[in-house]
Amino acid sequence: MVNFSCAKSIEIPSEQIGLNNYNSFDGGNRIFKRSILKKGKYEWEFPIVYFVDHKFKDHKIDKVLKYIEKSTCLAFIKTNCPPKAQLEYKYSTELCCSPIGRFKSYLTGRSDIYLKESCSKDFGLILHETLHALGLSHEHQRVDRDRYIEVFEKNFNSFGMKEIGEKDNQDKFKTFSIRYDYSSIMHYATTSCSRSFYRTMQAKNIEPFNKMMGQHYALSFNDIKLLNSYYCHQDCKPERSIKCKNGGYHSINSTCFRCICPKNFDGNDCKHVKITHYKFCKKTEQKAQYQVWKHISEEGFKNCHYLITAEKDYRVHLKIKSVRTQEKLLCAPNLGLEIKYLDDKGVTGLCLCGIYSGIDIISE
């Protein structure tokens, strides 16, 4: 059950802001950016011709590249002749890794992604390493990461400093106005690179965000947006295009008069929430009122979504009274309840998989 109202301002004691049941964000108008490697010595030539080591018997790598193709303008062609390839997936007994961006091997001239047997069977891990090859850095190593996570260097193993502790060099990465996303497939889990399963990082926000870090189910909307912003940018002049709302964006996969929208948003400019067709869902769009509490409750297996708005200069105040969804080790959209409370609806919302109560959320 969710209760909601609205208020001009809501005071939260300073000792409660941070890792607890209150959300925390910067109330200013600053835009925080993520990064992708700037154009380097070697750039990918499209379509990217790739070769897969014959030791990999299944077709999971091919499926990963098809998935990227479906979401972006990028294209890949498989070859059985290694000298023709730009990219090679190589079998390794020790490593699952990739350089960031295209890197030509001194011996072969190809860029190599190394995968152990276990990694080669994990769709999300293959996707993660492939995005490194396409230029994406780790989400938790962004320059602005200290606003969103706390890092515990004392709990690092020998890989911790390089894989988590070090931040990106902003001189080497191109920036886009895309916000931090705990559910990015480029984000490590809270105990990654730990010497004894202690947390090496945690969210500076509502506690359940920690269960979103490290998901390997799929690309987040902002992962796709970053790839498209770099490789598939549509140069739309303001006077000859519509302005995208709610985190939507233009891409060469679309036109300057239609935006690519976050999940559950629709319309040429992403202004509208998609209508819920499930007959048991309640009214899709609801208005919060000052000092008036309303509630929404749903039971059973449903796919319902709601847009709760407030008057200008007011914020929506949500009180999560109780949630009981299927328990998951890591939570992601479509697995439980997702709450998007930031202005940018492209950022993955708070995802709740399991039993929760007493969570307060104030919209941006």
What is the C-alpha to C-alpha distance for residues 116 and 93, in angstroms, rounded to an integer? 5
The token pair that represents 41 in the structure block: 């010595």
Please answer whether residues 215 and 332 qualify as being in contact, where contact means their C-beta atoms are separated by less than 8 angstroms.
yes
For the chain, how big is the Rg over CA atoms in Å?
A: 22
305 annotated ligand-binding residue: no
Q: How many CB atoms lie within 10 A of CB 68?
A: 19
Residue of 15, 69, 88, 129 marked active site? 129
317 annotated ligand-binding residue: no
What is the C-alpha to C-alpha distance for residues 10 and 17, in angstroms, rounded to an integer? 12
Residue 51: strand, helix, or coil: strand
Please answer whether residues 314 and 288 qualify as being in contact, where contact means their C-beta atoms are separated by less than 8 angstroms.
yes
What is the C-alpha to C-alpha distance for residues 79 and 86, in angstroms, rounded to an integer? 10
Please answer whether residues 62 and 52 qualify as being in contact, where contact means their C-beta atoms are separated by less than 8 angstroms.
yes
187 annotated ligand-binding residue: no
167-185 burial, b at 16+ Cβ within 10 Å, e below that, comes to bbeeeebebbebbbbbbbb
Q: How many CB atoms lie within 10 A of CB 186?
A: 22
Phi, psi of 2 (to 5 degrees): -125, 125
Please answer whether residues 24 and 205 qualify as being in contact, where contact means their C-beta atoms are separated by less than 8 angstroms.
yes
What is the C-alpha to C-alpha distance for residues 103 and 132, in angstroms, rounded to an integer? 11
* 139 classed as catalytic: no
Which residues lie closer than 8 Å to 39 by C-beta, 6 or more apart? 174
Closest residue by Cα to residue 136 from 195, 72, 196 = 72
Active-site residue list? 129
- Per the annotation, binding residues for Zn(2+) are 128, 132, 138
